Amino acid sequence: MLYVVAYDIPCNQRRREVAELLEGYGQRVQYSVFECVLSDKKLKELKQRLRKRINLHEDSLRFYAIPNYSFGQIDIWNGLPFLEPQTSIIL
């Protein structure tokens, strides 16, 4: 499944740690937005690892699941190409 992960983290150190972690799971498409193609197992792992790096009272993270049937509706204006889940899934 494709997930769009967006975050707003005011602390520079935590923000950097979250970005570095997400780079291992997906592709940065905006400064604080990543596209990640993940199995259920990898999504659970990512969320567990993120919980250790964030402050739930100050930081905001959002995970948007993008179903396969809506891929044709994704409209990209410049930037990195869309990740193809069929060939990019992390197990």
CATH at residue 39: 3.30.70.240
pLDDT in tens, 26-50: 999 999 999 999 999 999 999 999 9
Across 24-28, 49-53, 77-81, least confident range: 77-81
Report yes or no on 74 lying in a domain: no
**What pLDDT does residue 2 have?**
93
Which run of H or E residues covers position 49? helix 40-51
Which run of H or E residues covers position 18? helix 12-23
Mean model confidence pLDDT for the chain: 89
Report yes or no on 46 lying in a domain: yes
Q: How many whole angstroms from its chain centre is CA 20?
A: 11
90 has a pLDDT exceeding 80: no
Report yes or no on 44 lying in a domain: yes
Structure confidence at residue 69 as a pLDDT band (50, 70, 90) = confident
Task: Report whether 37 contacts 45 (CB < 8 A).
Answer: no
Report yes or no on 37 lying in a domain: yes
